[in-house]
Structures are given as C-alpha cells and as structure tokens.
Amino acid sequence: MESFDVIVCGGGAAGVGAAVGAAQSGARVALLERYGFLGGAATNAQVLSYCGFYQCDSRGDRAIGGVGYQALLELAKLRENIQPHHSELTGNRIILLDPEKLKYALDQLVLSHRVELLLHTTLVQVKKQDSHLQAIDLVDLFQQKSLSGTAFVDATGNGQLARFAGLSCRVNQQEKHFQSMSLPIRLGGLPKDLTIDREAIKAAVAVYNQQAVFTIPRQDGGVFMRVPNSNDWLWMIVDLGLSDIREDLVTKAEWMGRKIANDCVAVLRSEVTGFEHCHIVNTGPQIGIREAWRPVAQYALKREDLEIGRKFDSGIARAAWPMEDHSKPGKPSYLPIGGSGYGLVPLEALSTKIPNLWLAGRTIGADADAYGSIRVMGTSFATGQAAGVAAALFAQQHECPQSYQVIAKLKAQEALL
C-alpha cells in the first residue's frame, strides 16, 4: 500500500490550501478529488466568484495571503484580472472567475509543489487503529485501492472523511437550519454590450411565477455576474431548500432546478430585450450545496466571535466575509464582521477528537451564523492551509502541534493572520 505523510481528501479551495500548505512544510502529500479537476464548488457548481479574500468594510484590506494568494497569482499569470470587484449594491468585494482558467491555474499550483494529485478518485471508507486514522479506501475510474497516511485533512465540503472516521456530525440539531442549495445558470447568446435591466428581469420572474409549478422566491430578479473572457452571464436565481441530507432530495433538487432554469430562461427570451437568443450554456456538473454534514470540532466559532472580530491567540486564518445566511431560499441576509473587519479562526475549530485528522474549508467548527462567513472560498483556502500545516507537523513529530508552531509556519508561508 502506498504511504504518504499527509492525505488530503477533496480538491476545492480548502483541499488545495491544505495540500500546498502541507507540501510547503516538507510533507509528502496526496490530494484526491472525485471529479477530473480541482476547484470544488467554483468549478463543479459554477460558483464563479471568490469571496473572503478582501474585507467588506470601508478599508477593503486583503484578508487572505499564503496559498490562496498564490492561486490568484497563478490566475494573474494567465492574464486574469485578480483585482476585487466592489459591489455598489452590497459593499462586498469579490474576485470574478473563469472556470477553465481556474482549473488550469490550480493544476499548475498543486503540481509545482510536487503534490501527488489523484483525480477521478473518490474516498469510500477509512481504516482506524485505536483512536487514529491509518488508511483510506478509494475508488478511481478503473480500480479500488488503499493509501496509508500519517495525518489526514477532511476538505470534502461534506465532512465525508470525518463521518467515515466515526466523528459525530451536527445536523440540524442545535443548528437553526440548513442553508439552501442553488443552481447557478450560465447564459450565452447575449449581446456583447448587454446591460442588465433589473426591472425587466423582475417583471419576467413575476411572469414566470404566474404560470410556474415550482415558483422562484428571488423576486428581486436574482444576481447577475459577467463571466470573464466571454459574453456570457451567470444568473443566480434558482434556490432550493434542503430539509435533510439525503441523496434522493439532492436528486430531486437537480431535476427540479433544471426544470425551473429551462422554463425561466424561456420566459426571459420572450419578455426581456437583449435576451431573445439567450440559452443555457451550463448548469453543472452538480447543484451547489451550501451546507451538509458538519463534523464536531474541538471549538465551534460563534456569531459573537465574529460580531466583535475576536482575535484568538490560536488564530490561524482571517474570516472577513459577512455572515451570509441562506436559510430561507431566495432571501439571503448579511451580518457584518465587527472589530477591525475580520475575526481569527482558532486552530481548535480545525482539530477533532481524532488526533491525526484536521477539518478544512466549510467542514470546520462553526455555529449556524459563523458558518455563513467561514464557508466562502477565500477563507477556505486559509483554513485549508492551516489544516495542511498542522497535519504536516503531526507527521514530522508524531504528536499534535501547538498552535504557536502552526502559526509560525503559516507566517513563514505568507499567510495573513
């Protein structure tokens, strides 16, 4: 069985952060991803904007360095614009993404750090010895296999590794809700100089809702974003509630989402000037799932921590995105981050009862409100990098690193703390 110092499961922002963070700390790293490309929700669910890289207050300072910033620099090498787009409407600062450029940039980043990249590879089971994780079972396109590791990072977004390892997960218990799912729609066939007439879009959604079986709660016409390097626009209009974590409910959401998207785009074609020839370029490969299994970490970041921008002594990543709540489909709301415009995520939100397993990205410990902040991709790069560094230190010293050791390595890797 092949053996690694650190095994990272999941190749989204958190997984890339973890794999590169661990490799930069001297570890031999395997990174596995079930799709044929990296990027997570950005590339598999068309979430085409990075949030959390910049503070959303009047200062607008950059909050993410390290691996996340290296990913942006890879995009810049491909002539992508990595300057934040400042929304007049919300005050938020986001970086717009071309999904194909992002896939390529993340390949370059990960491979340049000699990470063993295993695409089309799905985690299916784990092996434990006493309290520690020892190995994982995988299935790739052609075979099943196992890898052994000294330390592990769960960057699956859904807490798959932690669940397989037997950690309990918080599901709608002390939590208020699940965040709703969304199906971003990429629209093509639009004029180069299109400006979005929000009133016309709102009116078209109202026309759609009058005749629809499945109505659209975003009566404000949703969110439109230009897709870089194209005349296409991304339309965030289809939201679907998730009442439980079950595959049959996600399957239903996929086909319902596609029906809503197709019917609604037909209404745009007939009702809105400029949209006469528009068509759906893409809606996938999967619906965007904001929230699923949430493994129990040693600390759950709290709303109150972010309301005052708390700086924990064991802080390993900045959380600068407002607490964005999607518990009611179609009605997002925002709670600002207080203090100096960011809070620090403590290392304890990444560590678990299993001494050689760390959580990263949207699997880390957070209450329902703080989750709305830490789950965004900029922050996920940063918590991923910290998880990777902690796992690499564990692999070197065979005991859990102290937070000051993780912080020192992160600073050396130019993370912003």
Ligand X SMILES: Cc1cc2nc3c(=O)[nH]c(=O)nc-3n(C[C@H](O)[C@H](O)[C@H](O)COP(=O)(O)OP(=O)(O)OC[C@H]3O[C@@H](n4cnc5c(N)ncnc54)[C@H](O)[C@@H]3O)c2cc1C
Residue ranges binding ligand X (CB under 6 A):
9-15, 32-35, 40-41, 44-45, 47, 49-52, 122-123, 155-158, 160, 182, 184, 288-290, 361-362, 375-378, 380
Backbone angles phi, psi at 206, to 5 degrees: -65, -40
- Least distance to ligand X from the beta carbon of 277, Å? 26
Burial of 380: CB neighbours in 10 Å, binned 0-12, 13-18, 19+: buried
**Cα separation of 356 and 354, whole Å?**
6
- Least distance to ligand X from the beta carbon of 223, Å? 9
**Cα separation of 370 and 376, whole Å?**
11
Q: Which is nearer to ligand X, 20 or 51 (CB)?
A: 51
Q: Which residue has the tokens 């407002």?
A: 322
- Least distance to ligand X from the beta carbon of 269, Å? 24
Instruction: Enumerate the β-bridge partners of residue 181.
Output: 240
Closest CA to 356 of 393, 384, 316, 405: 393
Q: Which is nearer to ligand X, 93 or 375 (CB)?
A: 375
Hey, what's the torsion of the CAs at 38, 262, 207, 202, to 10 degrees? 20
- Least distance to ligand X from the beta carbon of 233, Å? 15
- Least distance to ligand X from the beta carbon of 377, Å? 3
**Cα separation of 39 and 35, whole Å?**
10
DSSP state of 348: G
Q: Which is nearer to ligand X, 156 or 356 (CB)?
A: 156
Q: Which is nearer to ligand X, 139 or 200 (CB)?
A: 139
Q: Which two tokens stand for residue 370?
A: 């703080």
Burial of 194: CB neighbours in 10 Å, binned 0-12, 13-18, 19+: middle
User: Residue 192's CB: how many other CB atoms inside 10 A?
Assistant: 6
Backbone angles phi, psi at 348, to 5 degrees: -65, -20
**Cα separation of 335 and 369, whole Å?**
8
298 close to 348: Cβ distance less than 8 angstroms = yes
- How many alpha carbons lie under 13 Å from residue 58 in its C-beta half-sphere? 0
- Least distance to ligand X from the beta carbon of 237, Å? 11
Q: Would you tell me the crossing angle of helices 13-24 and 66-77 to the nearest 10 degrees? A: 110
- Least distance to ligand X from the beta carbon of 239, Å? 8
- Least distance to ligand X from the beta carbon of 404, Å? 25
**Cα separation of 219 and 264, whole Å?**
12
**Cα separation of 364 and 263, whole Å?**
37
Q: Which is nearer to ligand X, 25 or 158 (CB)?
A: 158
- Least distance to ligand X from the beta carbon of 339, Å? 21
**Cα separation of 55 and 63, whole Å?**
6
- Least distance to ligand X from the beta carbon of 24, Å? 18
